[in-house]
């Protein structure tokens, strides 16, 4: 097997040849051919780069776009360098397809210029990379070729892994290589798609080493020497070639039995080459080894006046690779740079870092070099590192910000302002943002071992709680310790009680506890002048009161909306604006709710608040669903679900809404799957509130699917859970009508009536007009089951009218459907047509299918065959359209596409047409059309 020209080769060059890898590469080829991804791994010099190039050459022609990056160790500390390699040349093709916040984030990352709107969480950049890959894939297959993954800067690695895990069926393949020892490659799979095939490249056999040496011109070696080369190299092709080169260059070959005339490690080989350099050239290479993307210009800025001649000398010795396409100074292999740095005296290394601390153009790189050039504490270095951390944070690289923050803390004097622990805690908060919760928890716990200041201790406890995520029950012992550390300081106590409010809701499942803690937190924050915590606590209190049906909810909402407001809180998904939206939609004020959430969504997108965007898209979908715009709701719900899965935020709530939207306007089986997923996620997290919401969605999907018994099981659990949570407002989940209808279907009319009576009492108290109309629709079904036919018809007619006036289009159509089931004969058929029209207007396709099936199953009065020729005028509008298209010769599938209905609906409609016209087939419709034309 040949390897890349990492070190200088003999003058005679041979084309690359892959030796001894047929079986391994065959598996990789099969994986790539079926659209999968491949990760090559193995120790340094094992031939990963050669295999990578060979595979990329074979499969790159099948891709419309090939993106490449190859990192080095010296670049790994700077964010987004690998990202720039991948997307720098193609970003112009996708910029216009990205939302504004994502464009800003990506531009900032790629150029290091501009003001980022990412602030702390970096989600906009993650989503920007994912969106960019999807946009490129829309133009054709994409192949990402990434060499030396181990040297990818953490920010680029995180972004690549984030996108790879979420691409799904998008035609993007990743072909990568990483240096590993043993089998430790699992962690690198996180930067690859889930279906990635890991292929380990091991040592070559003796015969293969011999073939490799022959191919590269080292011929005529004795068998014993080849055996020694194989043993010394361990079958590593790079080491074997370097040993072969050393032997070829040695004037006296070793005697039999003598060791090879070279050391047995690559580092020693490199150091032999380094000894050939002049002292000044070696210093120049040392500066290059510590720089990220070093160039001749940078070396000049760092004081290396003869950089051209000195780098040329290194290139002659094979230590540097030539860069015909640019001015970069690159080492032939990363290990050369590492060996050079490791062998340099400490003072020389510090001198190199000091030179680059002023010469480097990037503020993050300058700060890092200053830190590495400085020993002990240094307020100036600490301040520059803190500024660099802020820059990295704004660029959407919280992981880099955390590492810089820790360096800043290391150089901060004990009596500094801010102090070292304060900077450590800021680094911990950056680590949480970066998803490095273990690091954040370790930093916070470390601070807690020595911190004496209450503010530092409480801040550290808050980090520990945040690091727990949804598993708040696992940090129960933290709360009393945080309270003890807060003492009687109202500002610190406010933060703790705000977290206790969430614990009461998520862990205890008790709205009353959550409300009480939030109210207390708001009072404490007001006393301390902490407006942010006060606003968040008031919004939390107002939300719980709204869901509980508490009479103080309107007054608390007004307090939460009172000036002064903080812009980032006002448009936050846990802020007062979101609470006001919830109040509006529960109070049947759909147009105002829509305008409110649209405004919140626009502001969140403008600010790049991706987490809030996920939630507001979901709330807008809910509004459209309530309004009966099922197609629009389904699109928004799917967008929210995709954003939630891409970002890892709000998956439970988005799954709930997506299930409801699929059941109303999409695929019922998909609705059932999402409903079960939502319940499973909530139960796994121990979130009592969302267990209830997930079961609500699942029960609704089961009802639509015709599984009345399943719907009853799910919705009875919802009733029990909400009673335990203290929720009394039936507008919170609006599940009561579904449960009552399902109970009627299984014959439990008494239980249905009892449920409706209790829900009506609360709806009357709270003035929930929409809920009352739905309850009346359900009660009419109870009456019909009891034989009270006329009373049921009257109640349904009233309910349908009220729902139409309130703007609940889907609920209006459901009332019309119920009316049709109670009306016989031709009146019933006309009612089914009206219900189908209303459902079709809503784009509620699952309900349309139900109406069509019910209409076909209902008894009809036959029409005399002799009336067939005049019967077209008696068809309903949809029936006439379908019949007309049949007359044109359209297939059922073509009719479905033209009328935006399902094929099953076309079939059901044709069945009714046949029965009304007294005919038997499509052929009879065509004959009828011919007869009419003949007249």
Give the residue among 787, 753, 760 at the shortest CA–CA distance from 774: 760
Tell me the per-residue pLDDT of 340-396, one tens digit each, with 9 for 90 and over: 776 788 888 889 988 998 888 888 888 888 888 888 888 888 898 898 888 887 775
* 3-state SS, residue 178: strand
191 versus 460: which is more confidently predicted?
460
Above 50 in pLDDT, residue 8? no
Q: Which two tokens stand for residue 803?
A: 């729902």
Please tell me the total number of residues recorded for the chain in this structure.
935
CA distance 46 to 201: 7
Above 70 in pLDDT, residue 431? yes
Give the confidence band of 815 by pLDDT, cuts at 50, 70, 90.
very high
Give the confidence band of 327 by pLDDT, cuts at 50, 70, 90.
low
Cα 531 to Cα 171, 517, 570, 639, 759: the distances in Å are 48, 17, 12, 33, 38
pLDDT at residue 637 in the model:
93
Above 70 in pLDDT, residue 1? no
Pairing of strands 142-147, 330-331: unpaired
Determine the average pLDDT of the residues in 865-876.
57
The pair phi, psi for residue 887, each rounded to 5°, is -60, -30
Determine the average pLDDT of the residues in 766-772.
93
Give 774-800 as a 3 state SS string. HHHHHHHHHHHHCCCHHHHHHHHHHHH
Above 90 in pLDDT, residue 319? no
427 versus 114: which is more confidently predicted?
427
> What percentage of residues in the chain have a pLDDT greater than 70?
85
Bridge partners, residue 39, by sequence: 176, 198
Please state which of the ranges 671-685, 759-773, 890-904, 915-929 shows the lowest mean pLDDT. Answer: 915-929
pLDDT at residue 223 in the model:
64
Tell me the per-residue pLDDT of 726-752, one tens digit each, with 9 for 90 and over: 888 899 889 999 999 999 999 999 999
Give the residue among 34, 37, 29, 82 at the shortest CA–CA distance from 57: 29
Cβ neighbors of 634 (< 8 A, separation 6 or more) are 621, 661, 662, 664, 665, 666, 843
Please state which of the ranges 203-212, 552-561, 564-573 shows the lowest mean pLDDT. Answer: 203-212
Please state which of the ranges 184-198, 513-527, 629-643 shows the lowest mean pLDDT. Answer: 184-198
Tell me the per-residue pLDDT of 386-401, one tens digit each, with 9 for 90 and over: 988 888 877 757 777 8
Determine the average pLDDT of the residues in 749-770.
94
Q: Which two tokens stand for residue 654?
A: 């988005």
455 versus 905: which is more confidently predicted?
455
Above 60 in pLDDT, residue 868? no
Residue 644, judged by CB atoms within 10 A of its CB (0-12, 13-18, 19+), counts as: buried
Are the beta carbons of 813 and 628 closer than 8 angstroms? yes
Q: Which two tokens stand for residue 816?
A: 């019309």
pLDDT at residue 608 in the model:
61
pLDDT at residue 933 in the model:
52
Residue 615 neighbours by CB distance under 10 Å: 25
CA distance 614 to 123: 11
- Angle 197-198-201 from CA coordinates, rounded to 5°: 135
Above 90 in pLDDT, residue 634? yes
187 versus 144: which is more confidently predicted?
144
pLDDT at residue 458 in the model:
93
**What predicted TM-score, i.e. pTM, was given to this entire model?**
0.63
Q: Which two tokens stand for residue 675?
A: 């409903």
Alpha-carbon Rg for the chain in angstroms:
35
Above 50 in pLDDT, residue 258? no
Above 80 in pLDDT, residue 840? yes
Above 70 in pLDDT, residue 771? yes
Above 50 in pLDDT, residue 3? no
Please state which of the ranges 632-646, 669-683, 825-839 shows the lowest mean pLDDT. Answer: 825-839
Give the confidence band of 323 by pLDDT, cuts at 50, 70, 90.
low
Output the CA torsion sign for 670, 673, 678, 679: positive
Above 90 in pLDDT, residue 675? yes
* 3-state SS, residue 676: helix
Above 60 in pLDDT, residue 812? yes
Are the beta carbons of 291 and 330 closer than 8 angstroms? no
Tell me the per-residue pLDDT of 108-167, one tens digit each, with 9 for 90 and over: 888 765 544 344 457 888 888 999 999 999 989 999 998 888 888 888 888 888 888 888
Give the residue among 356, 376, 379 at the shortest CA–CA distance from 367: 356
CA distance 896 to 907: 10
Above 90 in pLDDT, residue 448? yes
pLDDT at residue 224 in the model:
61
pLDDT at residue 268 in the model:
61
Mean pLDDT of the residues in the chain:
82
Cβ neighbors of 401 (< 8 A, separation 6 or more) are 389, 390, 392, 393, 427, 430, 434
Give the residue among 709, 647, 648, 701 at the shortest CA–CA distance from 676: 701
Give the confidence band of 466 by pLDDT, cuts at 50, 70, 90.
confident
């Amino acid at each position: 097997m040949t390897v890349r020209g990492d070190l200088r080769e003999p003058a005679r060059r041979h084309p690359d040849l892959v030796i001894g890898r047929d079986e391994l590469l065959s598996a990789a080829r099969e994986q790539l051919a079926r659209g999968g991804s491949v990760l090559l791994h193995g120790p340094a010099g094992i031939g990963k780069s050669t295999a990578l190039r060979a595979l990329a050459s074979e499969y790159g022609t099948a891709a419309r776009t090939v993106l490449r990056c190859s990192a080095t160790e010296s670049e790994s500390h700077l964010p987004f360098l690998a990202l720039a390699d991948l997307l720098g040349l193609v970003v112009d093709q996708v910029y216009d397809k990205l939302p504004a916040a994502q464009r800003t984030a990506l531009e900032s990352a790629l150029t290091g210029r501009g003001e980022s709107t990412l602030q702390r969480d970096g989600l906009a950049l993650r989503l920007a990379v994912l969106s960019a890959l999807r946009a490129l894939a829309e133009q054709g297959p994409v192949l990402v070729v990434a060499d030396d993954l181990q040297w990818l800067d953490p920010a680029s690695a995180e972004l690549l892994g984030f996108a790879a895990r979420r691409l799904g069926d998008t035609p993007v393949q990743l072909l990568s290589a990483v240096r590993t020892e043993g089998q430790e490659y699992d962690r690198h799979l996180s930067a690859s798609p889930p279906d990635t095939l890991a292929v380990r490249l091991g040592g070559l056999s003796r015969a293969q080493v011999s073939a490799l040496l022959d191919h590269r011109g080292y011929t005529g070696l004795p068998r014993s020497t080849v055996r020694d080369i194989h043993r010394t190299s361990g079958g590593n092709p790079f080491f074997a070639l370097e040993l072969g080169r050393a032997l070829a260059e040695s004037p006296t070959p070793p005697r039999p039995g003598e060791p090879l005339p070279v050391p047995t490690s690559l580092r020693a080989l490199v150091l032999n080459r380094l000894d050939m350099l002049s002292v000044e050239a070696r210093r120049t290479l040392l500066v290059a080894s510590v720089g990220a993307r070093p160039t001749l210009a940078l070396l000049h800025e760092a004081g290396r006046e003869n950089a051209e001649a000195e780098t040329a000398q290194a290139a002659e010795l094979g230590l540097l690779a030539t860069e015909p396409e640019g001015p970069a100074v690159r080492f032939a292999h990363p290990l050369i740079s590492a060996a050079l740095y490791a062998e340099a005296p400490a003072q020389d290394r510090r001198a190199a870092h000091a030179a680059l601390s002023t010469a480097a153009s990037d503020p993050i790189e300058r700060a890092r070099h200053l830190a590495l050039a400085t020993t002990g504490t240094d307020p100036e270095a600490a301040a520059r590192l803190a500024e660099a951390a802020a820059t990295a944070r704004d660029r959407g690289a919280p992981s880099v910000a955390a590492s810089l923050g820790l360096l800043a803390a290391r150089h901060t004097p004990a009596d500094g302002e801010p102090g070292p622990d304060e900077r450590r805690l800021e680094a911990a908060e950056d680590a949480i943002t970066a998803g490095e919760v273990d690091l954040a928890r370790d930093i916070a716990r470390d601070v807690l071992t020595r911190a004496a200041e209450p503010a530092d201790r409480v801040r550290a406890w808050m980090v520990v709680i945040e690091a727990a995520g949804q598993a708040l029950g696992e940090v129960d012992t933290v709360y009393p310790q945080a309270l003890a550390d807060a003492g009687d300081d109202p500002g610190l106590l406010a933060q703790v009680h705000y977290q206790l409010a969430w614990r009461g809701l998520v862990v205890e499942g008790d709205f009353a506890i959550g409300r009480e803690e939030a109210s207390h937190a708001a009072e404490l924050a007001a006393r301390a002048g902490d407006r942010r915590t006060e606003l968040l606590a008031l919004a939390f209190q107002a939300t719980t009161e709204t869901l509980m049906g508490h009479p103080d909810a309107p007054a608390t909402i007004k307090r939460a909306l009172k000036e002064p407001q903080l812009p980032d809180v006002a448009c936050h998904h846990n802020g007062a604006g979101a609470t006001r939206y919830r109040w509006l939609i529960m109070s049947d004020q759909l147009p105002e709710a829509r305008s409110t959430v649209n405004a919140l969504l626009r502001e969140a997108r403008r600010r790049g608040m991706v987490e809030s965007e996920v939630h507001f898209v979901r709330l807008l979908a809910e509004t459209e669903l309530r309004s009966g715009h099922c197609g629009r709701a389904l699109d928004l719900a799917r967008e929210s679900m995709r954003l939630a899965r891409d970002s890892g935020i709000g998956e439970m709530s988005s799954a709930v809404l997506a299930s409801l939207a699929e059941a109303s306007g999409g695929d019922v089986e998909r609705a059932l799957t999402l409903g079960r997923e939502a319940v499973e996620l909530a139960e796994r997290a121990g979130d009592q509130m969302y267990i209830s919401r997930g079961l609500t969605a699942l029960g609704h999907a089961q009802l639509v699917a015709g599984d009345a018994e399943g719907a009853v099981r799910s919705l009875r659990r919802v009733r029990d859970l909400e009673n335990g949570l203290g929720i009394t407002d039936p507008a919170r989940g609006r599940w009561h009508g579904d449960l009552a209808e399902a109970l009627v279907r299984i014959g439990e009319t008494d239980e249905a009536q009892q449920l409706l009576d209790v829900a009506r009492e609360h709806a009357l108290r709270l003035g929930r007009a929409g809920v009352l109309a739905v309850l009346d629709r359900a009660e009419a079904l109870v009456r019909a089951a009891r034989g009270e036919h006329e009373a049921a018809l009257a109640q349904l007619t009233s309910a349908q009218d009220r729902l139409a006036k309130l703007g609940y289009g889907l609920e209006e159509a459901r009332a019309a459907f119920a009316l049709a089931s109670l009306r016989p004969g031709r009146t019933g058929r006309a009612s089914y047509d009206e219900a189908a029209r209303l459902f079709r207007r809503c784009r509620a396709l699952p309900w349309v299918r139900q109406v069509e099936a019910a209409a076909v199953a209902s008894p009809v009065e036959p029409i005399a065959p002799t009336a067939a020729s005049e019967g077209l005028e008696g068809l309903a509008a949809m029936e006439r359209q379908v019949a007309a298209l049949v007359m044109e010769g359209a297939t059922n599938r073509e009719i479905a596409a033209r009328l935006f209905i399902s094929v099953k609906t076309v079939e059901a409609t044709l069945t009714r047409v046949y029965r009304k016209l007294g005919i038997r087939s499509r052929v009879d419709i065509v004959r009828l059309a011919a007869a009419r034309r003949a007249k």
